[in-house]
Amino acid sequence: MQSALSSVVLGIAENGLNFVVFGTVAFAVVISLLFLVTRGSDSMYDHIGRGGISRDGDYGAGAEGQVSDSPAARAEQEQEIRQMLGARSDRLVRRGLPALDIEAEMARLLAPAEPTAHEAGLVDEVRQLVVARNERRVRQGLEPLDVDAEVQRTLEELDP
């Protein structure tokens, strides 16, 4: 009996590294399966980064991330822009430059955006793109698109 026990102990001692490696791997597999099975759909780790500062947060702009057009939101926006312009004006004065006209800057920043004319080079490139697209459509047996309308639509997509 003692010789059998001593041979087992000797075998474990000779293959101790194998025992440790396989034991560690087996333990890791068991723990990972345990975590996989017991992990609920509402894990604490799923909420990391969802504070008021992140995009997916519960606070701030709204569920879709859009700013509301309520009078209170508009007033808050104007107040924040006024503070930003005041700070910029103070920095300019400290550098020895003339102060900003805050009211004129406010009017410029809050004015609705005007449609911009596109550069001739951009219009030419878009026209070439539309012509090439039409050639592909004709080769595929489809009707060609109206080039001018398609150029205008593509330019509208490119506007910010």
Q: Answer whether residue 62 shows pLDDT above 70.
A: no
Q: What is the pLDDT of residues 94-108, one digit of tens each?
A: 999 999 899 999 988
Token reading at 127? 């026209």
Residue environment code for 82-106, b if the CB has 16+ CB neighbours within 10 A, otherwise e = eeebeeebeeeeeeeeeebeeeebe
Instruction: Say if residue 134 is exposed, middle or buried (CB neighbours under 10 Å; 0-12, 13-18, 19+).
Output: middle
Helix (H) or strand (E) holding 18: helix 16-38
With a cut of 70, say whether residue 55 has pLDDT above it: no
Q: What are 106-144's pLDDT values in tens digits?
A: 988 888 766 667 777 888 898 999 999 999 999 999 988
2 or 4, greater pLDDT? 4
Tell me what pLDDT residue 63 has: 46
Whole-model pTM: value is: 0.36
